[in-house]
Amino acid sequence: MDPRVLRRVPAARAQFALLGALAVATAGLIVAGATALATVLAAAAEGRLDRGALAWFVAAVAGRALTAWAQGAVAVRAAATVKAALRGELLGAVGQRGPGWLSGQRAGELATLAGRGLDALDDYITGYLPQMLLGAAVPVAVLARLAFADWGSALIVAATLPLIPVFAILVGWQTEAATRRQWRRLALLGGHFLDMVAGLPTLRAFGRARAQAAAVRRLAGEHRLATMRTLRIAFLSALVLELVATLSVALVAVPIGLRLLDGGLTLGTALLVLLLAPEAYLPLRAAGAKFHASMAGLTALDETFTILDAAPAGTDQRAGGPVGAWREIRFENVTVEYDRGAALRDATLTIRRGDRVALVGPSGAGKSTILAVLLGFVAPASGRVLVDGVDLRDLDIDAWRAGLAWVPQRPHLFAATLADNIRLGAPEATDEAVREAASLAVLPVPVETVVGERGHGLSSGQRQRVALARAFLRDPALLLLDEPTARLDPASEAAVLAATQRLAHGRTVLMVAHRPAMLPLADRTITVQDGQVTERATEAAA
């Protein structure tokens, strides 16, 4: 078992230990059963029935059946435990990194990883891992028994056993490369398909739906070809392992037969060797055959740990510092870099308690990045953000966020009632408080209304007012507004603007303002241009 799994999923350690104990018990039962059966057959050749040996054989067979069932049940439980824990950690990592990390096709790739990718661990934990444990326990037990029965056969088995893992490793290198190619194709297909579904209305409007459908078919075809190449290697490797194991057993069986005919070996010993020799190779053969089925899960496991082990942005949660009654937030020479380049360059600005600051500038200039830094979604590549002199990265990020409310351009609504969506930021809020927040946000729809995913069934203005109701219910000290009136008709814009004015009253506000209607809310205006921050004087808001 990968030690990273044991380290990250302590709940599964006892289950894996139990799998190991069951493998040792199975090895003992195999040796006991073969010994008893050889005794029974040898006695039968002499015309008598050894009832004691027969009883031991029946008990060994029943014990093997019981341990096989227990091994399967424990392995299934361990797989479920590991998958649930890793999925939880993946979702936690996404929450810590913030929405900016899910740009491009990463969201689709992560969905594929958390879904089908981790599901492939079933083949590893319930198939390959138990056989590997048996492959470690059974050959040792068999060799120990053969050494006492016939040391010559034990030497042959000991010499030929390493051939199976050697050939399995040689073929496994090719399988690993093929499986990684297959996984990359699957992740690309999943990411592209998710993006296409999300943008389907736009594709239909511009007549590009058929072209994207053709692209999905092409990617699906590439994934199919990669899968067939992987299966081809798997089938060939199974043939190689079976051939090696069969020849190894023959190397044991032929001398045993000749020595038995020559009188140099008793029938009971010969039968014992012939019964035990195949058992020594069987777990390794089975593990080699199941290795290919488990490679998809192992690849997904590596991808998962790559995400979890990378240091996420803004996750340092050391307690201490002014997370509640702060007086000043200061950006000092903050530079933020994305894959496409720098979004902020040596940005310096100060926000004091009670300020209402508007960030203006062209799209892509870095305005939303300033909000993302304050939310802890993005960590500066250089510079720092100080809250009353304490670096934001040294604060308890959850406590810091508890004092914020964020109203983005595209608020996400879940398939639930509006009350549940409003209560998202304050789960303990009463029904009366939720209704009051909806009233302050001028939400024209009853809070008992059930909406679809992404707020299906509501207009853009209504979705924006749900986001404002969330902020009202949260009652924040610092309000972050990312152009809440974008893409709204004049009537909806007026309603949202009126609700925003009530929300901003008496609070510290940092807003991204593209439309002139938002500017009267601000008493300071800061221009962001190509990542550079400059401030100009603004008349105080009424």
475 phi-psi bin (left φ>0, alpha ψ -120 to 50, beta other)? left
Q: Is 144 left (phi over 0), alpha (psi -120 to 50) or beta?
A: alpha
Rounded to an integer, the average pLDDT of 296-306 is 78
What was the pLDDT predicted at 194? 65
Taking residues 409-416, report their average pLDDT: 84
pLDDT band at 102 (very low <50, low <70, confident <90, very high): low
Q: What is the pLDDT of residue 460?
A: 81
Q: Which range is least confidently modeled, 111-115, 314-318, 345-349, 436-440?
A: 314-318
In this structure, what are the phi and psi dihedrals at residue 85, rounded to the nearest 5 degrees? -65, -45
The number of C-alpha atoms within 13 Å of 188 and in the hemisphere containing its C-beta is: 17
State pLDDT tens for residues 30-57.
999 999 999 999 888 888 888 899 999 9
Q: What is the pLDDT of residues 339-386, one digit of tens each?
A: 666 778 888 888 888 888 888 888 777 888 888 888 888 888 888 888
User: Could you tell me which residue, 182 or 415, shows the higher pLDDT?
Assistant: 415
Residue 488: what pLDDT? 73
Give the pLDDT of residue 169.
Answer: 67
Region 218-239 average pLDDT: 71
The domains located in the chain, with CATH, are 3-309 (1.20.1560.10), 328-536 (3.40.50.300)
Q: How far apart are CA 221 and CA 499, in angstroms?
A: 51
Q: What is the pLDDT of residue 320?
A: 46
DSSP letter string over 33-59?
HHHHHHHHHHHHHTT---HHHHHHHHH
What is the per-residue DSSP string for 17-33? HHHHHHHHHHHHHHHHH
pLDDT greater than 60 at residue 541: no
- How large a percentage of the chain has pLDDT more than 70? 81
Q: pLDDT band for position 235 (50/70/90)?
A: low
Measure the CA–CA gap between 494 and 514, rounded to whole angstroms: 15
Q: Going by C-beta distance under 8 Å and a sequence separation of 6 or more, which residues neighbour residue 256?
A: 150, 153, 265, 270, 273, 274
Compare 419 and 235 and report the one with higher pLDDT: 419
Does 98 score more than 70 pLDDT? no
pLDDT value of position 542: 37
| pLDDT value for 107 | 66
Torsion sign (Cα): 319, 325, 330, 334: positive
So what's the pLDDT on residue 491?
A: 78
Kindly give, in sequence order, each residue whose CB lies less than 8 Å from that of residue 16, ignoring residues fewer than 6 positions away.
1, 6, 78, 129
pLDDT at residue number 311: 47
Percent of the chain with pLDDT over 90: 11
Taking only the tens place, the pLDDT of each residue in 176-213 is 666 666 666 666 666 666 666 666 666 666 677 677 77
> In this structure, what token pair is assigned to residue 62?
């029943």
In this predicted structure, the answer to whether residue 298 has a pLDDT above a threshold of 70 is yes
**Structure tokens, 117:** 């990718």
Question: Is residue 341 within a helix (H) or strand (E), and if so which, with residue range?
Answer: strand 341-352
For the chain, the average pLDDT equals 80
Calculate mean pLDDT across residues 292-314: 70
pLDDT band for position 233 (50/70/90)?
low
State pLDDT tens for residues 9-25.
888 889 999 999 999 99
What per-residue confidence (pLDDT) applies to 378? 80
pLDDT beyond 90 at 285 = no
What separation in angstroms does the CA of 439 have from each of 446, 477, 495?
10, 20, 12
